[in-house]
């Protein structure tokens, strides 16, 4: 038979374990989202109809400033690539 102190100890241990899992999730989730944004940008850049030189510029920018470069590609670069495709 468990005493009240033992039950409190077990509850506290479970609470600490749950907090560690929550903290790990809060660390891992942004890293996974960041990686998905970066890889998605690289795939999108290489699949775009931009010239080889412009693709290289965007890829270098994505590697130099991974978050900002990827974000700017999706905000401005893709739009510019599709605009060039319409006028070409």
Q: What is the pLDDT of residue 69?
A: 94
Which residues lie below 8 Å from residue 41, measured CB to CB, with a gap of 6+?
62, 69, 70, 73, 74
Greater confidence (86 vs 77) lies with 77
Greater confidence (39 vs 22) lies with 39
Which residues lie below 8 Å from residue 66, measured CB to CB, with a gap of 6+?
34, 38
- Give the pLDDT band of residue 82 (cuts 50, 70, 90): low
pLDDT single digits (tens) 39-80: 999 999 999 988 899 999 999 999 999 899 999 999 988 877
What tokens appear for 69 in the block? 């470069």
Separation of alpha carbons 86 and 39, rounded Å: 26
Separation of alpha carbons 7 and 2, rounded Å: 7
Average pLDDT of the residues of the chain: 81
């Amino acid at each position: 038979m468990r005493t009240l102190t033992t039950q409190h100890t077990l509850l506290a241990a479970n609470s600490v374990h749950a907090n560690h899992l929550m903290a790990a999730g809060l660390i891992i989730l942004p890293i996974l989202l960041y990686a998905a944004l970066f890889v998605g940008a690289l795939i999108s850049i290489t699949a775009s109809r931009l010239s080889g030189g412009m693709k290289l510029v965007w890829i270098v920018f994505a590697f130099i400033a991974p978050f900002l470069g990827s974000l700017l590609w999706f905000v401005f670069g893709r739009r510019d690539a599709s605009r060039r495709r319409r006028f070409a």
